[in-house]
Amino acid sequence: MDFLMSGLAACGACVFTNPLEVVKTRMQLQGELRAPGTYQRHYRNVFHAFITIGKVDGLAALQKGLAPALLYQFLMNGIRLGTYGLAEAGGYLHTAEGTLSPVRSAASGALAGMMGAYLGSPIYMVKTHLQAQAASEIAVGHQYKHQIFPPQSWKVALVAAMVSGIAVVLAMTPFDVASTRLYNQPTDAQGKGLVYRGILDALLQTARTEGIFGMYKGIGASYFRLGPHTVLSLFFWDQLRSLYYTYTK
């Protein structure tokens, strides 16, 4: 669970910060190995870069490389924080007397960070290539022509659904947990719940007794259900609509 929660939390943040990563990548590649004043500055500052990218490449370009960025964040932070959490839970960070050891803590953090960075490095490279892709008039650095999925591919819809699903499950899982428990609670002869008075009471009781993570039980199953469910719903809707119009003409 430590791996999953750490990875999903980082992915949720990545959805909102990826545009800044695109801007950072392009500004760092601008004028590579060229003396100041000898090249055209397409991006004068972070705000100018946002406007330029949105105007020339389109607003969608501000989320370039989002798919590998999410995978990188999930792997790196899931491994880094999850491994450190396991070390802490196993008691490896404490001395024989039970006190926290700064040396062991630092060593465990460094080892966990190295593992996450090493395993995530290939994905980070792909992310950088995609984020650097730009129209010729504002291109900086070497332009790799990677294409993860062909246009109109069902895989594009699946990735989009999985990406948007991060924000959805983070926002909705506590209410989903409360809803499940309200439906499943025992009732009296009049059908009134014996455990929870309502959704707010269910949320409060869960948070007080089980902590914040108790409100996110089943988040992994919710996330991996949401993306395929969305894609399949759209697929069947499109097929049924096509059949309807075919036989009603």
Considering the domain architecture, whether residues 186 and 127 belong to the same structural domain is answered as no
| Secondary structure of 218-246 as H, E, C letters | CHHHHHHHHHHHHHHHHHHHHHHHHHHHH
**Residue 174 and residue 244 in one domain:** yes
Q: 111, 138, 165: which is the final residue of a domain?
A: 138
**Domain assignment present for 20:** yes
For the chain, the domain total comes to 2
Q: How far apart are CA 56 and CA 24, in angstroms?
A: 17
- Residues 111-138 have a mean pLDDT of 91
| Local confidence band at 196 (pLDDT 50, 70, 90 cut-offs) | very high
**How far is 226 from 231, CA to CA, in rounded Å?**
9
Q: Are residues 12 and 105 in the same domain?
A: yes
> How high is the pLDDT of residue 53?
96
Rounded Cα gap, residues 15 and 6, in angstroms: 15
* 83 & 189 share domain: no
Instruction: Give the global pTM.
Output: 0.63
Top-ranked range on mean pLDDT: pick from 10-14, 151-155, 179-183, 223-227 = 179-183
* Long-range contacts of 56-62, Cβ-Cβ distance < 8 Å, separation of 24 or more: 56/134, 56/135, 56/137, 56/138, 57/134, 57/135, 57/138, 61/22, 61/134, 62/18, 62/19, 62/22, 62/23
Its domain, for residue 41, covers: 2-138
Answer yes or no: is pLDDT of 105 > 70.
Answer: yes
Mean pLDDT, the chain, rounded, equals 86
Which of 110, 138, 166 corresponds to the end of one domain?
138
136-141 average pLDDT score: 94
Q: Is 127 exposed, middle or buried (0-12, 13-18, 19+ CB in 10 A)?
A: buried
**Is residue 145 assigned to a domain?**
no
* CA–CA dist 144, 122 (Å, integer): 15
d(CA 26, CA 106): 33
Does 169 reside within a domain?
yes
Alpha helix ranges (H) inside the chain: 2-29, 46-56, 66-89, 102-132, 154-184, 199-210, 219-248
Decide: 223 and 166 in contact? Cβ < 8 Å.
yes
Tell me, yes or no, whether 32 and 132 share the same domain: yes
Cα 196 from Cα 44, distance rounded (Å): 57
Residue 187 shares a structural domain with residue 216:
yes
Residue 102 has pLDDT above 80, yes or no: yes
- Domain boundary among the residues 84, 106, 138 is at 138
DSSP string, 106-137: HHHHHHHHHHHHHHHHHHHHHHHHHHH---GG
Which residues fall within 8 angstroms of residue 14, CB to CB, at 6 or more apart? Answer: 66, 69, 70, 73
% of the chain exceeding 70 in pLDDT: 92
pLDDT band at 202 (very low <50, low <70, confident <90, very high): very high
Please tell me whether residues 35 and 61 are part of one structural domain.
Answer: yes
Mark whether 95 and 54 lie in a shared domain.
yes
Give residue 154's pLDDT.
Answer: 65
Shared domain for 224 and 161, answered yes or no, is: yes
38 shares its domain with 95: yes
User: Any idea which residue has 């659904």 for tokens?
Assistant: 161
The span from the CA of 169 to the CA of 160, in Å, is 14
Q: Above 80 in pLDDT, residue 148? A: no
**Are 220 and 115 within one domain?**
no
pLDDT at 1 over 70: no
Which pLDDT does position 20 carry in this prediction?
Answer: 94
